[in-house]
Homo-oligomer: A and B are copies of this chain.
Amino acid sequence: MGTGMTEKTLIVSKIRNGTVIDHITGGHALDVLRVLDVNGRDGEVLAIAINVPSRKLGVKDMVKFEGRELESGEVDRIALLAPKATINIVRDYDVVEKQVVRLPKILKGIVKCVNPTCISNSKEPIQSTLYIKQEEPFYAKCHYCGHIMEKDELLKQF
């Protein structure tokens, strides 16, 4: 990889309580932070590795953050950004829960339909609902107007 930062040396740092998101698609760690609305300005303790070597993915990103566990809507967004990510919940230095993120079949209230005239974008109290019809290549379809969307169109909303 031509880099001196190895996977191992970054894994050395342990968190006490919090979340480790590993196997993030290389170069997308900062997008994950944006999705989680975390930037360090509120004193959050974070460690981030970007484009480090990974046996599984070639390169990967990793985010560790202290004192925070994820909500399910957050996990769904991370699944869109980084479909191979793994999420470990750490309590008192032990991993108490491992999650593999999985693209859900339905995205409800997570991302908006990109068709501006779709009823889900009107002032009606309608929650956006997209069906993920295919993962690779990705496309999703709006429940209300049938509009077809690619992944980039959804990621832009984060």
Contacts and interface: CB of A to CB of B under 8 A. Distances in A.
A31 to B, nearest CB: 9
Given A50-B45, A51-B46, A40 B15 contact: no
Nearest to A27: B40
Interface residues of A, number: 40
Number of copies: 2
A6 B15 CA distance: 9
Interface in A54-112: 59, 61, 64, 66-67, 93
Contact of A4 (B3, B26, B50, B66): B66
A15 B30 contact: no
Interface string A1-35: 11111100110111111000000001111100100
- Closest A-B pairs by Cβ, 7 of them: A4-B16, A9-B13, A40-B50, A46-B50, A48-B48, A27-B40, A45-B51
30 contacts: A1-B45, A2-B67, A3-B15, A3-B67, A4-B14, A4-B66, A4-B93, A5-B14, A5-B15, A5-B45, A5-B47, A5-B66, A10-B13, A10-B47, A12-B13, A26-B40, A27-B40, A27-B41, A27-B42, A28-B40, A40-B51, A40-B61, A44-B51, A45-B50, A45-B51, A46-B50, A47-B49, A47-B50, A47-B52, A48-B49
